[in-house]
Structure 1
């Protein structure tokens, strides 16, 4: 398996790939379909996980690579670093890179077993950590990158196992912790890496309780356990950016009621009286910190209205009056995003059904978090957001970029999406930029923040460059072969934008009357480097 990358790049297969590539395309070819792509914090390395070639023919499977692999790419040279690392089991999530970029962690799962592979990013060598029982639920590295938390779930025993792994050697630190309950949200850590937080829901007969467990990351020991009776967690613990506050949001579905409980980030103990809100949480995460962590925002839905409430992070008191979304019972809040100086603004993306015009409307609302008032007038945007995250904040925090797809397209008409820029005053900064094809992801910024790159799909994968100040499209969009495989990433020097795509040479499915279908599929991953200088491909 490890020799397939050079094999593809230096045999007649390379010639076939060059034939079907557009002129000027520059791509690293990897065997198998793309699973995930991750860039290191410094933008110097790209880690691409690919799946093996698939076949349901037993005899053919004997001759095909049965392992997935992770390939490290130098973004300065567009070359593979070392030899791709093959691994058994299915990859779970993308590669996690330590803050200093020296280590990368890949989690794999096979049946009821989970393993973490630790990669030395300098030379692409690796160390395999011990195997744990259960299916993986999350991997989190601490702020210093020296320790890795691995959470696994034994669904039969209804029990979590949390293990601490040395980020350099792969050796387990301390003893794994067994924690009862079903997981809610993901493992979280404090900004300084000293604490880890795990939220579970314990079911006993007709009673449900939320349990917050606080773990010392130095030795994987318990620092505190807090039980919130008669509640169901909405995600895990959320910690403020400065680490001074922590919160757990829960609900009681029988009463359409949300409870916001402030916690001591060191021990998990309840701080003050919990705040009660009407309705159920409508976003994930259920709460976000604003104003540098001094305030908290929670969006809820009662069945008759959607609203956003600002709370004081220290004691949970309500700030001002909750902001009610237009549309009444037909309004739904999709996303809540902090931006502005010191994150003193909230951007609320919501939708509602306009009965008069028989169509959904997309609404952009900006809220001043210091007093919970609407800034300007909510904007009705043309189009609808993609189902996943559709909002990005400029590096200087002064504006949000909202990606939108057309609500409908007449037969024979081109599919044109758009990107709208909205300022802290709640107004459109300029007319939305047009993007060919359908959008599935938010924009990605260049390292200096001067450009926003939008990835879309229109028969091929397309990259559009947008001036982050004027909103104008720069040059012409660049199309690369293949279906979208993952997000777009920009190198540290801003010279190249990377797009992973999938090209399927052939997919064979024979309708022969057998107990099982006969299927064979050969996919290649292209890691395409697009030159950002004049927005044509690198080579």
Structure 2
């Protein structure tokens, strides 16, 4: 009938009228929040999206490969994976925009079923980025920004996430802080244990340093992140040029260490 019927499982009766979709609907998957149903239309080579609150189709059908049959949605609800039987491929849909992401993924001949590991088996993959703000000049202060993200596919597991910074010769820590982070200046570490979803980032950490008058012309600041269920230590570096200052002399060095 090129439609989807909705059954009330309490009474086992059909609710409302059938929802028109594309030609030869084959597979259906519901987002984890229950708000959307993704239906593969094998004869139309597209996917219809149903709003489950109103039982109406949202937007235009999403074009995929030839004869899409099955569909599975990631535990975080951010992606829908569709098998294209006659194209021997899998299409990936961004559920936020309902558009296909990248090129189809080649598969074997006539792919039919698809499944995604449950969230309990999906781990976080942390990232760390480090940047500097403005110029670094001898005898003055400089600022670095450290950002920790999670590229997924899973969330962090609630264990402690630890950021450690290692300053090069010529730089000393003045202040380190970040919203929600527990930071210790003497150890140049920041920790937190709140769960970070895939595709998200924690608030940035700001590190302010003093630049010694004897600092080399070129230094590299390094930071690492560990924890959160990710067993890998991730590293970010920030190569920094130190600019000279004509007023910076031996008295400036004494001031830096007072």
Which range, TM-score by smaller chain? 0.3 to 0.5
TM-score between the two structures when normalised by the length of structure 2: 0.40
TM-score between the two structures when normalised by the length of structure 1: 0.21
Bigger strand share = 1
Larger radius of gyration: 2
Task: Specify which structure has the bigger relative contact order, considering alpha-carbon pairs within 8 angstroms and separated by 6 or more residues.
Answer: 2
